[in-house]
Amino acid sequence: MASSPLQASPTTIRGMIVFFPTYASRTPHGWTARLAGMVARPLPERSRRRVLAVAVLRRLLDLGEAEMASEIFRRRAEMFLFRRVAGHRIRIMLGDRIVDVGYTDKAGHFETRVDFDDEFSAAWTVADGAVGRRLEYAGVADPDSDEGDGVPTGTGCVHLIEDSGTSVISDIDDTVKFSNVADKRELLRNTLLREFIPVEGMPETYRRWREAGVDFHYVSSSPWQLSDPLCRFLGQAGLPAGSMHLKLFRLKDSTPLGRLPSRKRGKRRTIDRIIDDFPGRRFVLVGDSGERDPEIYASIAQRRPEQISGILIREVPSKSSRAKVRERLAKLTRRLPPDCLTVFQSPDELSDLQMRGG
């Protein structure tokens, strides 16, 4: 019998462990790092959930046989056809020590905090681009599990961020990666069928900021299943690496992939936590006008004026008229300090970031 275009392949059948790119912040005695991730296995080939998900994707995107069989679609769609693995033991090799994280929760997630001193940092961190340092680590197989438990160990990294300086908190979709969030069908096609494309000029702008000592945090409504391809996209596009904070997404949350954009409350909460971890740093918030970035960022700037140096919003096409979008942004601008919110179309307009964050 012929196999399904999305039949689980031998390279994916064992499942996956994904370590989320995170950061470490300063403490009086060194550093504290948050390590987190998820564990999942592919849905069985003939399971009802898998068959239903594939059918819905095919209908939503109006896919032909050739598109269903394309390498990009197979690889991307497969990332969503997983079930979470609860109760999986996580052990991590961090430098010369093994950290026993414990077990994944009922949603397949895990999280822990790890402290280390400057001596450990000097011995085990590596260069993170032209400036900065990062700590790389790897999962360790659970000695108590059966040999065929089906979950590879995985690798991850922690970006070390000093307690003073400037950080960019950046959206991804339609800010640095072309996604067309305003058109849900095109968003899905850009997510599942096409190679990721950087927004013209943004990689060069972000690299210039990185070379000036700016650190990056990517906070996006993209689901965690896309963390690996998004990290590869950042590297291939020449965008600076940084911590990544994506949406928790399960097939049962909605029609498969039908609600990729996250609720603004979750995004605001994530940004607040990052800012809380670095009370001595200044932040520039970068997003686009297509969803709720301007409102979220304005709310944060009003509550944290001492830490927000500026808000930079890329104007993108939307279902609303250009006049309505500009009126909406003008209202937000009037609520903020002078020159706090800048609307741009070309990244060439953003060359003064260093002065904003100085």
Q: What CATH number does residue 31 fall under?
A: 2.60.40
What total number of domains does the chain contain?
2
Q: Are residues 124 and 241 in the same domain?
A: no
User: What pLDDT, on the 0 to 100 scale, is given for residue 223?
Assistant: 85
Residues 276 and 320 in one domain: yes
Residue predicted with more confidence, 275 or 258: 275
The lowest-confidence range among 5-19, 133-147, 186-200 is: 5-19
Which neighbouring-strand residues pair with 93? 98, 138
Q: In this structure, are 240 and 308 located in the same domain?
A: yes
Q: Are residues 182 and 33 in the same domain?
A: no
Q: Do 216 and 176 belong together in one domain?
A: yes
Tokens (6 digits) for 185: 């069908």
User: 131 and 183, same structural domain?
Assistant: no
Query: What pLDDT, on the 0 to 100 scale, is given for residue 184?
Result: 85
Question: Residue 78 falls within a domain, yes or no?
Answer: no
In a shared domain, residues 99 and 29: yes
| Strand-strand pairing, 89-94 and 133-140 | antiparallel
Q: Which of 140, 160, 180 is the last residue of a domain?
A: 160
Same domain, 20 and 152: yes
Examine the pLDDT at 7 and tell me if it is beyond 70: no
Domain encompassing residue 156? 16-43+83-160
Q: Is-contact 245 220, C-beta < 8 A?
A: yes
Boundary (domain end) residue, out of 111, 143, 160 = 160
State yes or no: pLDDT of 175 exceeds 50.
Answer: yes
Residue 292 burial (10 A CB sphere; 0-12, 13-18, 19+): middle
Calpha distance 197→237 (Å, rounded): 8
The strand pair at 22-27 and 125-127 is best described as unpaired
Amino acid at 328: R
Q: What is the mean pLDDT of residues 253-281?
A: 74
Q: Burial level of 167, CB count in 10 A (0-12/13-18/19+)?
A: buried
Do 200 and 154 have their domain in common? no
**Residue at 1 is within a domain:** no
CATH of the domain at 268: 3.40.50.1000
What is the tens place of the pLDDT at every residue in 215-253? 999 999 888 888 889 999 999 999 999 999 998 765 554
Q: Is the pLDDT of residue 257 over 50?
A: no
Question: What pLDDT, on the 0 to 100 scale, is given for residue 162?
Answer: 94
64 inside domain: no
Is the model's pLDDT at 342 over the cut of 90? yes
Residue 331 forms part of a structural domain: yes
Asked whether 143 and 157 are in contact (CB, 8 A), the reply is no
Please determine, for residue 305, whether its predicted confidence score (pLDDT) is greater than 80: yes
Whether residue 248 sits in one domain with residue 351: yes
Give the residue with greater pLDDT, 42 vs 296. 296
Backbone Cα Rg of the chain: 21
The answer to whether residue 91 sits within a structural domain is: yes
Q: What's the pLDDT score for residue 258?
A: 44
Copy the structure tokens of residue 109: 């997630």
> pLDDT tens digits, residue range 119-134?
999 999 999 877 789 9
152 & 250 share domain: no
Residue 13 has pLDDT above 50, yes or no: no
Q: Are residues 200 and 345 in the same domain?
A: yes
What pLDDT digit, counting tens, does each position of 18-74 carry?
Answer: 899 999 999 999 999 999 998 888 888 888 888 888 888 888 888 888 988 899 998
Buried/exposed code over 26-39 (b: 16+ C-beta within 10 A; e: otherwise): beeeebebbbbbbb
The residue out of 160, 180, 211 marking a domain boundary is: 160
State what percent of residues in the chain have pLDDT above 70: 86
